[in-house]
Amino acid sequence: MKLFSLLALGALFAPAALAQRAVIGAPQDGTTVHPGQNLTVEIDRPDSLTGSTEVAVVIGFFSCGSSPAATCPPPTDVLGSVLYNGPYDPEFHTGVSRPPHQNFTVTVPPFAPAGKAQLGVAHLSLVGAGQFPLFETLNVTLKVEV
């Protein structure tokens, strides 16, 4: 009986958690960047009927290697150089057909070597009436050209 109750509770919270997932709106996967370049990172959070309180985001940059076969570790393992760490307050913007979002201007590390890199995001929010914590990581792959 307890297992059924836990499954039912999970089924109630799963849609709410999925509705609160953030998305990296920009830059697009595969974008070419240069060391020292300013880069706009747009983090979208689709609108939802489920209440939530945004807590924070961390944006990191990790160089993965110059080999074409280089692979990046998941952002749950490493974010790399922290480019932003602070509040997240997504808002609707008039005249723009986008979900609530916030833009962050960060600088590609000036020492970034040429090759594949990863822009990772860690996002924390409190969701639902009980305010359960929702932690997620997101990433896009970038190409660094020197």
Per the model's pLDDT, the better-predicted residue between 56 and 92 turns out to be: 56
Residues 57-104: pLDDT tens digits?
A: 999 999 999 888 889 999 999 999 999 999 999 998 777 778 899 999
pLDDT digits (tens, 9 = 90+) for 106-120: 999 999 999 999 999
Locate the domains of the chain by residue range: 2-144
Parallel, antiparallel, or unpaired: how do β-strands 31-33 and 52-65 relate? unpaired
Selected from 3.30.930.10, 3.40.1190.20, 2.60.40.1930, 3.30.1360.10, the CATH number assigned to the domain covering 2-144 reads: 2.60.40.1930
pTM of the model: 0.85
